[in-house]
Amino acid sequence: MERGCTVHKLVADIALFSGRRVLLVKYRDVARYDGQRGWFLPDDLLVHEGHPQDAAKRIAREQTGVELEDARLSHIESFGNGAWHLIFHYRADLPTPTVKPGPNIAATEWFERRKLPTRSEFAHEGWAIDVLKSMEP
């Protein structure tokens, strides 16, 4: 079995908006998510030599059943946490908020952007809240 890189973590996430709402997910198997439970923006590692925008579209398709023609890069985040993480934060607007959760999705829910769950209900101490705030105009 091939083991992933332990020095670098290349990650993409996608904030899916429908009007004033944003879609959040909870994962069934949290092993790939640092054992974290709670709400996340849909995210995943990039495939080897894959483009981050392709990863954002794949994540939307695999985790929410949404086929995106376009995903826009919002910003890039870099930090160390045992491994160097480089996170590509994408966003897309959906005219219809219809989703079909993928096999590893335990729950999906649309939340008003100004009425998100409490920080304690999110994975990673509410990191997604900070990501969403950085996407505000």
So where are the chain's domains? Answer: 8-134
Fold of 8-134: Nucleoside Triphosphate Pyrophosphohydrolase (3.90.79)
Residue type, 105: I
User: pLDDT value at position 1?
Assistant: 32
User: pLDDT value at position 4?
Assistant: 63
What string of H, E and C letters represents the secondary structure of 63-99?
A: HHCCCCCCCEEEEEEEEECCCEEEEEEEEEECCCCCC
pLDDT in tens, the chain (137 residues): 344 667 778 999 999 999 999 999 999 998 888 888 999 999 999 998 899 999 999 999 999 999 999 999 999 999 887 778 899 999 999 988 889 999 999 999 999 999 999 999 999 999 999 999 999 86
